[in-house]
Chains A and B, each alone.
Chain A
Amino acid sequence: MPDGAEQVMTEKEEQQKVHVFEAWCKKCGICVAFCPTKALTSDKDGLPVLTYPEKCTQCGMCELRCPDFAIAVRPKEPKETKKESK
């Protein structure tokens, strides 16, 4: 990777931006309804799924608004800083 470039995620890593603890999820729909980029949708049982992982900015709002602490967002990687080339 050239110096100063952002890490690009693999598809697998994109899917893993969000983790749902299904046993704790009550399928209230709050996380899906208020996702700013509509990256989450509800599956047939009502559980949230990261259907559009490329849209997920890891803003964390789903995690903050979940009343059951059932959805966790991977913290954003710190961007690599541009190094002065000598």
Chain B
Amino acid sequence: MNQDTKNIARGELLQGNEACARGAITAGVRFFAGYPITPSTEIAEYLARNLPKVGGKFIQMEDELASMAAIIGASLTGTKAMTATSGPGFSLMQENIGYAYMAEVPCVVVDVQRGGPSTGLPTKISQSDTMQARWGTHGDYYSIALAPSSVEECFTSTIQAVNLSEKYRTPVIVLMDEVIGHMREKVNLPDPKQIKIIDREKPTVPPDWYQHFEINPHFVSPMASFGEGYRFNVTGLTHDPFGFPTGQPKEIADKLDKLKNKIMHHADDIIQVRDELMENANMAVFAYGAAARAARQAVRMARQKRIKVGLIQPLTIWPFPDTYLKSVLEQLDLILVVELNQGQLVLEVERVSCGKAMVKSLNRYDGELITPEQIFNRIKEVR
């Protein structure tokens, strides 16, 4: 047994950032490029120590733009690759995240959020990169972003992120935050042998017939790696299925439709939502990430007072869980969206709700974690 599995067996006290890094190694990540930034640095430091032990490569690049570029380069050689940062670095990475969307390169970007905008609050919590995870870079594209709310979820979400990135040939964002990243919890991590690891689909045609961006009925193109005999072109310019730049209107529209369909046609496979106490609820608290921890407690407190409220916790925030929300709107007349920002995902709840249920918010954005009492008081106020 290696060090990882030994510690897991003992039920170790684990830090969120460390759990994320371990999840990455468990999922097969063998390349990390990053730049130090609070509160994500522990992920880089853990991987600097432990990647070489499993034959992986770690490099500290000169900035976040280079880090994102390097993981894309590594992924194109067939190596699972990841980077980690916080808000200011996430902003810098957007240029090459856009490249990864366009070039359909699997990779994982962990954003351990802190207060913003700009330098903001390096050591304090926020969830203010929610919309940036969807729309951070320019252009039309469709994002996958996961929001863990516990140390154990940091481990499992990172594995899921790597798997999704491989399955759908896309970057996947893991939105942690300063509290989740730095907290320590005793965890029951799954046995690595029980964990399903997904690898990118490889081409089954000879090299001369290979289309690196083939458009097929399930919209995910098999992906060769550099050095395997398939000599293909990768570019950030809008391109045809061979990867050559195009200016043909049909090819342009086809490419953008493919990027959309690749994600949205498979939304059911990608999206995960956890709910609790929804059975006879006529109200729901909608919360993700660290806010969901406090919301869970508040919902239980409210149920003690016989308020028929349940908890909806999206583990996937992008694509937004339209289908799930529409299905529970039948029974709800009120949704309370709790966020550690000035109201970002609430806009999606309002969009899907479309007036069917009243949507209220509770926002905390002073760098502190919202408390169960605050949420409980607001539940009583709006009910």
User: Are A and B direct contacts in the complex by CB distance below 8 Å?
Assistant: no
